[in-house]
């Protein structure tokens, strides 16, 4: 598949590496190609600057959001939550219409330092904002409730643990499910929560995810849903 990954951070890089490994044609989208390649500072996860990373991953094409989206059949949004709508605007509606957008972003506000807060209330979500702004885009929210290393390698954690999915278009959700399955997610561990409004629930998990990260002192964990019988 031709896949555009919006985002040059840890998530964009790790997802792109996995997609290339799986044989997909991958292009990463950014605001400004020259500025991004000129970056020399490692990211917050200690990963190399994008330019360094790109030298070691030549199979991944790299372009502006609009050009990256134009050639893609599916777009994966791994931009900063506050940059998501600006990134999609730069991609241009004509390059988005009718496509699937797997949205991994979280509406985190880092302006007051750590821990970040959410910039959406619990009566809305960033995923819904995207869907409202681009009605022709098939938005599927998923993977946003775990660190990138677990997204593409669920076997990092023992036993059953879960990934959630929200979206209005059943066919788009089926395609994303297939992609998650190719990442190693057992189908029974993918929980379809329902329409795009259910993304409110997974985005609102971020405050607890961030506290768990602090308490456990590692980001390599995930939510596991235990099922029981009533009565």
Ligand X SMILES: NC(=O)c1ccc[n+]([C@@H]2O[C@H](COP(=O)([O-])OP(=O)(O)OC[C@H]3O[C@@H](n4cnc5c(N)ncnc54)[C@H](OP(=O)(O)O)[C@@H]3O)[C@@H](O)[C@H]2O)c1
The residues that touch ligand X, with contacts defined as CB under 6 A, are 7-12, 30-31, 36, 78-81, 83, 86-87, 104-106, 108, 144, 147-148
Question: Nearest approach, Cβ of 229 to ligand X (angstroms)?
Answer: 33
Which of 69, 104 has the CB closer to ligand X?
A: 104
Question: Nearest approach, Cβ of 171 to ligand X (angstroms)?
Answer: 24
Tokens of 214: 């602090």
Residue 136 contacts residue 91 (beta carbons within 8 Å)? no
Which of 29, 138 has the CB closer to ligand X?
A: 29
In 92-205, which residue ranges form alpha helices assigned H by DSSP? 126-133, 148-151, 170-183, 199-203
Which of 44, 228 has the CB closer to ligand X?
A: 44
Question: Nearest approach, Cβ of 191 to ligand X (angstroms)?
Answer: 17
CA dihedral angle for residue 190, residue 7, residue 53, residue 164, rounded to 10 degrees: -10
Q: Distance between CA atoms of 67 and 164, rounded to whole angstroms?
A: 30
Cβ density class 152-176: b for 16+ within 10 Å, e for less: bebebeeeebbbbbbbbbeebbebb
Tokens of 94: 């004509």
Question: Nearest approach, Cβ of 91 to ligand X (angstroms)?
Answer: 9
Question: Nearest approach, Cβ of 115 to ligand X (angstroms)?
Answer: 12
Which of 157, 229 has the CB closer to ligand X?
A: 157
DSSP 138: E
Q: Distance between CA atoms of 183 and 28, rounded to whole angstroms?
A: 18
Which of 210, 230 has the CB closer to ligand X?
A: 210
């Amino acid at each position: 598949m031709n896949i555009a990954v919006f985002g040059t951070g840890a998530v964009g890089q790790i997802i792109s590496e996995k997609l290339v490994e799986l044989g997909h044609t991958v292009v990463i989208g950014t605001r400004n190609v020259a500025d991004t390649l000129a970056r020399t500072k490692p990211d917050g996860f200690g990963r190399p600057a994008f330019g360094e990373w790109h030298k070691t991953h030549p199979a991944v094409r790299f372009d502006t959001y609009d050009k990256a989206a134009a050639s893609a059949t599916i777009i994966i949004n791994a931009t900063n939550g506050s940059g998501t709508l600006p990134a999609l605007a730069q991609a241009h509606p004509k390059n988005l219409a009718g496509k699937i957008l797997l949205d991994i972003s979280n509406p985190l506000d880092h302006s007051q330092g750590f821990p970040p807060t959410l910039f959406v209330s619990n009566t809305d979500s960033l995923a819904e904002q995207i869907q409202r702004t681009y009605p022709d885009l098939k938005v599927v929210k998923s993977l946003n409730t775990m660190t990138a290393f677990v997204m593409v390698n669920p076997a990092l954690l023992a036993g059953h643990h879960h990934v959630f999915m929200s979206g209005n278009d059943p066919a788009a959700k089926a395609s994303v499910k297939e992609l998650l399955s190719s990442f190693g997610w057992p189908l029974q561990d993918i929980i379809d929560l329902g329409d795009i409004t259910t993304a409110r629930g997974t985005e609102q998990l971020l405050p607890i995810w961030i506290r768990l990260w602090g308490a456990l002192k590692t980001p390599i964990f995930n939510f596991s849903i235990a099922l029981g019988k009533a009565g």
